Amino acid sequence: MSALEPDDPRSVGEYRLLSRLGAGGMGRVFLGRSPGGRLVAVKVVHGELLRRPEFRDRFRREVEAAGRVSGAFTAPVVDADPDAPLPWLVTSYIAGPSLDQAVAERGPFDPRAVLALAAGLAEALVSIHAAHLVHRDLKPSNVLLAEDGPRVIDFGIVRSVDAESITGTGYTAGSPGFMSPEQVNGDEVTWASDVFCLGAVMAFAATGTNPFGGGPTPALLYRVVHDAPDLDAVTDTALRSLIGDCLRKDPAGRPTPRDILARVGPLGGESATALPYAGQWTPSVRPTGPEAAPTLVTPPAAAHPATRVDAVRPPAPGPPDVRPPAPGPPDVRPTAPGEPGRRSRRAFLLSGAGAVAALGVGTGFWLNRPTTPDGPGTAPAPSSSPATATPRPPVAVGRWPLDETSGPIARDTAGGHDGTATGVAWQSGGQGAGFDGTGSQIVTDGPVLKTGAGRSFTVTAWVRLSAVPDVFATAVSQDSATASGFYLQYSSGDDNWAFSRPGRRAVGRTAPAANVWTHLAGVCDGPARKLRLYVNGVQEAVVEDTDPVPATGAFVIGRASFNGEPRDFFPGAIRDVRAFDQALAAARIRTLA
């Protein structure tokens, strides 16, 4: 959540905007307040999308479809105006972390919490399917953990079962790793597709990883279609069986959402709304007695006791901490009610404000989750009261987007550690900063990270080699009097990417290629004395960290140092460098890659 930007509207219709929740490829998302004081999420479409003649009509039809959905585990649409100069949609604001945030913070859920999650999401699918719709994009970032249970959000590509297919430049019907085989193959997508996605979400909640692994998207999609899911880490036998059934390749072999509710046990089926969600999400509030928690009804094996860590408690709902908006451009307002050809926007919403996802409806609407200051793919974390606050997802202590167009300064948008750029070629179009491999560098005035014994930290960057060099090439480091405290680099000695300390090197397996953007993440886990290297979101190496170097010099992009001398200059381009003062979990790194 961040303050409104200068070009953001200050109100939409009758809703006053308080702050920016994020922005995606299809529009901007704001926190707003209704005239009666209700907090809402307000979505405003990017104007350039209206150049497509069919967009407004399709948006209107899907708002109408959204009004047909109701249910305890979806979030209600409050208002919408498809005919406004910039179409907009208002939904309830859901206070609570997303599932991927919760897993990144606290690790996998115990089996009991996964069952509660499954019951809520299955009931949400019952409501969605009853409206003759398919969600098509059920994934961890589209599940919010409210105090009273999960909420399915981001109906970005929800479609009527009998609707025409969606086509368009840049449109992808689903998210890799959480798509069904029929979505990947371009086959008919039915309600069973949502069940497959639910199975992948359950596996993620139970293990902290995608059941089909990671890596390049084509390889991931191939495994979704052809390979069995990896469920070895699901320790509860009956839960593993349920997830496996949801992940069957044949849509006809998957259970229905009501089948899932029935298999959850005595609290399944139509009585699933009685599930004690506060007890499920909150480790300190444990229901007791034989009927306190859902259990799977799967003969002949009974569920094993919980072996995973307890699920995270979401922040209690409360007013978010927002800064006063700065003066800006005129409001985005609907056109006059009496204009010819206009229908009342409220005519699109059924009596009682039918429910749909909290973050978007429309043709590919909000397909990409809004970007927050800490990176794409991360759901915004609402504020909570001090009495109930829980740890937030890791926030970068330094972030250098390297999106400048000129000048000698590389801005740190997170921690204020601006760097001085020497010999750097600023590039447009998201291509980052160009480095010549001989003297280009960006250097801060002082250290950003503490790298000595027992210290944990993480550095990440997108890098592209102009050519694979025959010498070492360092993308990110931090100076000391003797040698850099760490190196996120290409290692010519290993012909591969590496995260290194002097004398220790975690070497990757993905061979670098010229002119290919690659995401690198180096993690130093101080208490565990481990160095870890992630390439494109996948851990590729881990080594013992035997000789930590307390680097107290400058944080550097584009080179390393040895004996106080600069060396190992990087040839190519670098963008979006981030520094964290803790060891990021694998799930968090995947959201950055």
The CA dihedral of 213, 188, 67, 116, to the nearest 10 degrees, is -40
Comparing CA positions, the residue from 158, 159, 15, 38 lying closest to residue 94 is: 38
How high is the pLDDT of residue 66?
65
Give the separation between CA 143 and CA 153, rounded to whole angstroms: 6
**Quick count: other Cβ atoms within 10 Å of Cβ 484?**
28
Q: Which two tokens stand for residue 443?
A: 């250097």
∠200-197-134 over CA atoms, to 5°? 170
Across the strands, what pairs with 578? 399, 460
How high is the pLDDT of residue 72?
65
Question: What residues are labeled active site?
Answer: 137
Annotated binding-site members: 43
Cβ atoms 380, 1 nearer than 8 A: yes
∠535-538-540 over CA atoms, to 5°? 70
Give the separation between CA 350 and CA 130, rounded to whole angstroms: 15
Q: Which two tokens stand for residue 254?
A: 């998957």
Q: Which two tokens stand for residue 578?
A: 């981030």
State if pTM tops 0.95. Answer: no
Comparing CA positions, the residue from 311, 279, 314 lying closest to residue 106 is: 311
How high is the pLDDT of residue 155?
57
Comparing CA positions, the residue from 301, 333, 280 lying closest to residue 85 is: 333
List of domains in the chain:
11-94+318-388 (3.30.200.20), 111-120+133-281 (1.10.510.10), 398-592 (2.60.120.200)
Cβ atoms 508, 495 nearer than 8 A: no
Give the separation between CA 103 and CA 116, rounded to whole angstroms: 15
Q: Which two tokens stand for residue 546?
A: 């035997």
- Each residue's pLDDT expressed in tens, for the chain with a length of 593 residues: 678 888 889 999 999 999 988 776 677 889 999 998 888 889 888 888 888 878 888 778 767 766 666 666 777 778 889 889 999 888 888 877 888 888 887 889 888 889 889 998 999 899 888 877 888 889 998 888 887 788 887 654 444 444 443 333 334 455 788 999 999 998 888 999 999 999 999 999 999 999 998 888 888 899 999 999 999 999 899 999 999 999 999 999 999 999 999 998 654 433 333 333 333 443 322 333 333 334 454 433 333 333 333 333 333 333 333 333 333 333 343 333 333 333 344 333 332 333 333 333 332 222 222 233 333 333 333 333 333 333 445 778 999 999 888 889 999 988 889 999 999 999 877 789 999 999 999 999 999 999 988 899 999 999 999 999 999 999 999 998 888 999 999 999 899 999 999 889 999 998 899 999 999 999 999 988 999 999 999 999 999 998 788 888 999 999 999 888 999 999 999 999 999 999 999 888 988 88
Annotated binding-site members for ATP: 43
